[in-house]
Structure 1
Amino acid sequence: MKLSMNWITLRVRDLEASLDFYNRILGLPIERRFESRGKQIVMLGSVGQPKIELIQGSDPALKPECGVSVGFEVESLDEAIEYLKSQGIPVARGPITPNPHLRFLYILDPDGFEVQLAEHS
C-alpha cells in the first residue's frame, strides 16, 4: 500500500482569526472554502502539497496540548523570525539546533496549536 499525505484537520474556534494566521501571515493560499453539515470549512495549501483543513467549531476534537504540531520548511529561520516579529507573532520555543543541518522554532496559532518552522542546510 502506498500512501501520500493529503491534509491535516484543525478544528478552530474562530475561522477568520485562523485564516488570517495561516493565509495572510504564513502565506498559505486558500484552495477552497465551503460549508458542510452546517460547518464552515477552508482548505489551505499549495498545489501538489498536503493541505491544512480548518473547520469552524466550538468544541475542538484535538486540544492544542495533545502533542500535534504542523511543520513548515523555511529558507531562512532568521528572516522568518524578523517577519514574525513584524507581525506581532512571538516565538513560543526556540530556535533549537538539534544538529548542524537543522534549526527550528515553534509559534502558536490562534487556537494554541504549535506551528514549527524549520530551516535545513
Structure 2
Amino acid sequence: MKAIDHLNRYVSNVDKFIDFYGDVLDYELIDKGIKGNGKNYAILKGDGHELFISEKDNFIVETEQNFRHIGYFIENVDELLEKLKLKGYVDQEQEIIVKPFSRQFYIKDPDGFEIDLIQWTDKNKFYHYLKDKHIK
C-alpha cells in the first residue's frame, strides 16, 4: 500500500501555520525548532500524515504556479464551516458549495494557498461521471 507520509513546504511564518493548521484541521504540533541555517521549522501531525514546514530566506508567496489546491476530506462540512466562522477564518457570508457529488468550501492558509474542504456525497458516482464524460 502506498500512502502520503508527509508534505514539506516553505511558509512565511511557522507560528502562524502552527495556529492555522491546529485550529482549522486539528493538526498536532510534534516538533518545533531552529534549523542549522537559523530558520524556524515545525512538524505537524495530521490524520495519517505529517506536514513539515520551514521558513527560508527571500520567501515569496507564489500561490498560482503549478499547484492549484490541496483537498481534505471532511466528515461534516457544515459543522466545520460554522466552527471556522466563529474563529474568524472565513467570512460570515461563506456558504457551502453544493455539487452533484460533494459539498465543500474553500479557505486560504496564511500565505494565500487554497485549501478545499470537501464532504463527498457520492465519490464513486463522481468517478463514473468523469469516466462517462470522457468516453462520449
TM-score relative to the length of structure 1: 0.78
- How many Å apart are 1:62 and its aligned residue? 6.7
Name segments (4+ residues, structure 1) moved above 6 Å: none
Structure of greater Rg: 2
Q: Kindly indicate which of the two structures has a greater share of residues assigned to helix.
A: 2
* Residue in 2 that maps onto 1:8: 7
**SS of match in other structure, 2:96:** strand
- How many Å apart are 1:105 and its aligned residue? 1.3
Residue segments in structure 1 that go unaligned for 5+ positions in a row: none
Q: Deviations over 1:94-121 (max 9, x none)?
A: 6333323x21211001110111111123
8 A Cα contact 1:43 1:54, kept in partner: yes
* Residue in 2 that maps onto 1:118: 118
**SS of match in other structure, 1:33:** strand
* C-alpha distance 97-58 of structure 1, shift in aligned 2 (>3 A): farther
Which amino acid is the alignment partner of residue 112 of structure 1? G
Whole-Å separation in 2 of the counterparts to 1:60 and 1:4: 29
- How many Å apart are 1:41 and its aligned residue? 1.5
**SS of match in other structure, 1:24:** helix
* Residue in 1 that maps onto 2:109: 109
Alignment of 1:12-23 (within 5 A): 12-23=11-22
Whole-Å separation in 1 of the counterparts to 2:68 and 2:9: 10
Aligned residues: 117
* Residue in 2 that maps onto 1:54: 53
Which amino acid is the alignment partner of residue 5 of structure 2? N
* Residue in 2 that maps onto 1:99: 100
Which amino acid is the alignment partner of residue 5 of structure 1? I
1:31 aligns with 2:30: yes
Moved more, 56-65 or 110-119: 56-65
8 A Cα contact 2:61 2:111, kept in partner: no
- How many Å apart are 1:58 and its aligned residue? 4.5
Percent identical among aligned pairs is 23
